[in-house]
Amino acid sequence: MGSSMGSTGEFGRRDLIKRAAALGLIAVPSMGVLSACASGGGSDDNKVDKGTKSEKNPLAVNESAPLDVVIFDGGFGQQYAKDAEAEYKAAYPKAEVKHAATQEIQTQLQPRFNGGTPPDLIDNSGAKQMDMGTLVGKKQLTDLNALLDAPSIDDPSKKVRDTLRPGVVEMGRFEGQETWILYYAYTVYGVWYSKTALEKLDAQYPETWDDMLAVCEKAKKKGIAGWTYPGKFPYYLPFSLYPFIAKIGGREVIDRIDNLEPNAWKDPAVKAAFEAYYELYKKGYILRGTPGLTHIESQTAWNQGKALFIPNGSWVENESKKTTPADFKMAVGAPSSLDAKRDKMPFGTIWASGGEPFIVPKNAKNPQGGMELLRIMLGKKSSQNFIKQVSSLTSLNGGTEGLTLPPGLSSSQEALAKAGENVVNPRIQDWYVALQKEKIGVAALGEMMAGRMTPDETIAKIQKFADGVRADDSIKKYRHK
């Protein structure tokens, strides 16, 4: 599953983030907080000696030191990382590279953090990722600015930071100028659909909500549901709902939600968006049984033509490829206009941001090696390998030249081009993981879409959850500047 993170700075950086388009990861169940995290600090006693800095080794990697890598084994798999590790091994033949993959990132790695023996590089993603805000707050991570200031693999005259998509560096910051996270994938979120399924209904992708309801009604008459979603992991709903809210009320509504401002959830744009989604339930346009489905089960039902639309991220093309028909023509749509004349942002407004958050722990034995592997991964060879293997963009700006893109990825590129400056990047899912996944997703939106709570009750419940986080001094707070 996918995940994103970030931070913003003054307005100039915010501007960049608006344009950030990112490729996502695989999304999964809930996420716990790194509660028992060892406090920051740590000494350099356990670090390997640095190597000799040179043109070919700008980060001064110890050429014979072992490298310990843990990758989230989700929608992108792990082969892309193994291939990059082979490049590392070719550059540093004396180094032993240890590769592990798991979906249980927090469960497996928290004890290693607590014991002061974390891996050198971690893809901290999925349902059980470690809480980024907590890791940063407890000073558990290495500042990646050394990597960003190193020469890029392909063009040593350019720094790594100058080869990345807009907003990627800023997303890895929480406050100040340190960069704690490198998002490797670039995810496009939205309403995913099959062009073929709409063609069979003689329908277009609905640019207005009235048209959305009309298409769903047309489908219902043919025994097809309008929507499905991962009912067991309903934090997928915001992938299309948050940009819908921003479209209706402006990106500042999402900023206020991210900032945990009092009554931010009581904004009229939130109410309007929730009522629109609730109408899908009331009119019987949700696939029966959806509240009990996992992400894989809901995607499979969608691939089988049982439902037209699903809120998701661009990892879905790779994750669901085994069940996707050859003529499916997968595509992503931006949120429909609720009221084209009154909405604050135009049709095409979409959520896109960095996904697959890579981190180098502060107490890693070989942090230079961890950063060097990332430098290799951000080269064109590794990026193109990732794109070809998993139908997703990387954070390298470009890298698609000469590649034939599959339908979903091609559609993602088109959606980004159409959005232009109208890209939103809600930070709540990075800053307050438990709030986003457990509370807003499972305990509120999941209940509303199953018909067990009204929009007004849902808003009141979410506002109470947000107020609780704001009042909890043990939770580190982050804000849009």
What CATH number does the domain containing 142 carry? 3.40.190.10
266 or 44: whose pLDDT is higher?
266
Q: Name the strand (E) or helix (H) holding 461.
A: helix 455-471
Residues 283 and 369 grouped into a single domain: no
With pLDDT > 70 as the criterion, what percentage of the chain qualifies? 91
- Report CA 220 to chain centroid distance, whole Å: 32
Residue type for 89, please? K
Residues 204 and 336 grouped into a single domain: yes
Residues constituting the chain = 481
The pLDDT value given to residue 473:
93
Q: Is residue 481 part of a domain?
A: no
Domain boundary among 391, 408, 424: 424
Q: Is residue 477 part of a domain?
A: no
Residues 128 and 230 grouped into a single domain: no
Q: Is residue 334 part of a domain?
A: yes
Q: Is residue 40 part of a domain?
A: yes
Residues 175 and 195 grouped into a single domain: no
User: Distance between CA 446 and CA 340 in Å, rounded?
Assistant: 28
Which of 176, 177, 179, 158 has its CA nearest to residue 168? 179
389: exposed, middle or buried (Cβ count in 10 Å: 0-12, 13-18, 19+): middle
Q: Are 345 and 418 in contact (CB under 8 A)?
A: no
Residues 165 and 276 grouped into a single domain: no
- 157-178 confidence digits (pLDDT tens): 999 999 998 788 988 988 788 9
- 298-321 confidence digits (pLDDT tens): 999 999 999 999 999 999 998 999
- 32-75 confidence digits (pLDDT tens): 333 334 444 445 568 999 999 999 999 999 999 999 999 999 88
Q: What angle do CA 213, 327, 352 make, to 5 degrees?
A: 60
User: Distance between CA 453 and CA 76 in Å, rounded?
Assistant: 35
Q: Tokens 């497996």 correspond to what residue?
A: 108
Residues 171 and 71 grouped into a single domain: yes
User: Distance between CA 247 and CA 236 in Å, rounded?
Assistant: 18
Average pLDDT over residues 367-389: 96
Which of 12, 462, 473 has its CA nearest to residue 265? 462
Q: Give the chain's domain count.
A: 2
Which of 183, 229, 237, 257 has its CA nearest to residue 431? 257
The pLDDT value given to residue 34:
39
Q: Is residue 277 part of a domain?
A: yes
Average pLDDT over residues 214-234: 97
Residue 475: pLDDT over 80: yes
212 or 417: whose pLDDT is higher?
212
Q: Name the strand (E) or helix (H) holding 194.
A: strand 182-194
User: Distance between CA 481 and CA 175 in Å, rounded?
Assistant: 9
316: exposed, middle or buried (Cβ count in 10 Å: 0-12, 13-18, 19+): buried
Residues 149 and 213 grouped into a single domain: no
Q: Is residue 478 part of a domain?
A: no
User: Distance between CA 215 and CA 385 in Å, rounded?
Assistant: 38
Residue 20: pLDDT over 60: no
Q: Are 163 and 184 in contact (CB under 8 A)?
A: no
Q: Is residue 1 part of a domain?
A: no
Residue 108: band (very low, low, confident or very high) from pLDDT cuts 50, 70, 90: very high
Which of 301, 374, 358, 299 has its CA nearest to residue 148? 374
User: Distance between CA 32 and CA 235 in Å, rounded?
Assistant: 14
Lowest mean pLDDT among 67-81, 249-263, 426-440: 426-440
The pLDDT value given to residue 480:
85
- 429-473 confidence digits (pLDDT tens): 888 988 998 999 999 999 999 999 999 999 999 999 999 999 999
CA-CA-CA-CA torsion sign (13, 15, 16, 21): positive
Residues 6+ apart with CB under 8 A from 266: 459, 463
Q: What angle do CA 410, 244, 223 make, to 5 degrees?
A: 75
Residues 387 and 455 grouped into a single domain: no
Residues 343 and 386 grouped into a single domain: no
Strand segments (E) across 239-376: 307-313, 330-333, 350-359
Q: Is residue 476 part of a domain?
A: no
Residue type for 196, please? T
- Enter the tokens of residue 253: 């509504």
* 3-class DSSP state of 9: coil
Domain boundary among 406, 424, 442: 424
Residues 47 and 182 grouped into a single domain: yes
Residues 95 and 235 grouped into a single domain: no
Residue 344: pLDDT over 70: yes
Alpha helix stretches (DSSP H) within 4-60 = 11-19
Task: Provide the domain limits for residue 33.
Answer: 11-187+352-424
- Measured over all CA atoms, what is the biggest interatomic distance in the chain, rounded to whole angstroms? 70
- Report CA 362 to chain centroid distance, whole Å: 23
Residues 6+ apart with CB under 8 A from 338: 208, 209, 244, 247, 248, 272, 273, 276
User: Distance between CA 307 and CA 226 in Å, rounded?
Assistant: 5
Residue 404: pLDDT over 50: yes
Q: Are 60 and 53 in contact (CB under 8 A)?
A: yes
33 or 132: whose pLDDT is higher?
132
Work out whether strand 67-72 and strand 97-102 pair parallel, antiparallel, or are unpaired: parallel
Lowest mean pLDDT among 143-147, 341-345, 390-394, 463-467: 390-394
Residues 182 and 316 grouped into a single domain: no
